[in-house]
Structure 1
Amino acid sequence: KRLWGKFMLNVGINQTCMAFETNYGGVLAPGEAYDALIGAMKEVIGLSKKEGVGLSEEDMDFYINLIKTLSPESVPSMRQDGIARRYSEVEMFSGAVRRLAAKHGLMVPVNDMLYEKIKEIEAAY
């Protein structure tokens, strides 16, 4: 369950900061980036249930509160990759979410959107 929790955190925070070209403070502010963060994490919760792990919104809240302890100006590794124009772990995050969702017949529109945005960013390198 703990590995799935860390996966949920990374799917949410890393990809959202990369896709919206922002930092922790920007993601936590109300708006489109915050909605994407929460949506991406909730999609992982749904997948975890299908995979027999059973993450909950309580788990998501734990990780959101963890993000709140970080410097608002800081960025996760995936955003650092974007700044340096390096290719990211998008396939390990939303790529994996999309593959698992297909296996279970689930829709993951937030992860689809993040995947496409990140691929567009990387295609411009």
Structure 2
Amino acid sequence: MAVVGATVLFAPRLLPVARGLLTACYLELADGDPRPLRREAYDTEPFVRLLGEGGVLEPRDVRRTNMTEIGWRRDEATGRVVVMSAIDDLGKGAAGQAVRNLNCMRGMDEGAGIGSLVPALP
């Protein structure tokens, strides 16, 4: 979802894990409240789990799934909103996105065949 005039700093996190990716995006919002943006963007998304404000993200919670978990918190010191996400990058990466795109282009269920893409190892 694009927000005109938004200032965003994207910061991926490298962790000592076999699979998984955590990200943090630092946003400056006029009213400091990301809830209207998330409702509009994610309420109908089958592969997004919103943990809400203060939600704790763990790569193990999305391991071997096509899910994205999203949480956020307000940084009172800077006035920014920190939006964090966790994915299993081996399943939710480019191959999984390609299958989802093809499904949408063909008018099929967005998640068709996705479960078989998430490799069991490592």
Question: Shorter-chain TM-score: what band?
Answer: under 0.3
Structure with larger RCO (C-alpha < 8 A, sep 6+): 1
Normalization by structure 1: what TM-score? 0.23
In terms of fraction of residues, the more helix-rich structure is 1
Structure 1 or 2, whichever has the larger Rg, is: 2
Normalization by structure 2: what TM-score? 0.24
